[in-house]
Amino acid sequence: MLFELIAAVVAGVALAGVAMLLRWLSRGLLPKWIVPTMAGLGMLGYSIWSEYSWFDRMNLALPGIEVSWKNSQTAFWRPWSYIEPVTTRFSAVDMKTARRHPNQPGLVMVDILLLARWQPVKPVKVVYDCPNMQRADLVDTNVSIADDGSLVGADWVKLDAEDAAMKIACTTR
């Protein structure tokens, strides 16, 4: 967040400098208020660009993920978000972590990444039972993996057939 503030200030100073140069080249024909106006527009423009490009930049920064859910929202302090909502959170399946046990081909273990703007990435280890359409979160320390690849002590949650994260995880080889 600090780097984004610094970048916004730099964008404002850069556009203010351009406005000052234009005032100097026009020998004062441009009004004085053009300099702070351009500084404000530069900072606002950078902030809007940063908000709208965050989702795409995160997808590029994390290769091997497939987005399963995203949250786009509007806010009164961002009036431009009423035209196009801003994505502030999303979850993704980290396909690089997908693992299957040879004795349990219907089970797949993956990391689900929870991402939110200005928050660190939070991985959650999850096992999907693809044939039975259910999921077990491995956040509880009482869950263990037996020698045959089955889960011991897991709380299974029944899922809808259209669950996006399950569909993504179960397509792994």
Has residue 140 got a pLDDT over 80? no
Q: What is the pLDDT of residue 147?
A: 85
Q: What is the mean pLDDT of the chain?
A: 93
Higher pLDDT, 67 or 140: 67
| First vs last C-alpha separation in the chain | 39
At 15, the pLDDT band (50, 70, 90 cuts) reads very high
Question: Which percentage of the chain shows pLDDT scores above 70?
Answer: 98
Q: What is the pLDDT of residue 152?
A: 87
Q: What is the pLDDT of residue 139?
A: 84
Average confidence (pLDDT) over 41-59? 95
Least reliable range by pLDDT among 53-57, 139-143, 160-164: 139-143
Has residue 173 got a pLDDT over 80? no
Q: What is the pLDDT of residue 153?
A: 86
Q: What is the pLDDT of residue 144?
A: 83
Has residue 146 got a pLDDT over 70? yes
Span 81-121, pLDDT tens digits = 999 999 999 999 999 999 998 899 999 999 999 999 999 99
Instruction: State pTM to two decimals.
Output: 0.83
Has residue 172 got a pLDDT over 80? no
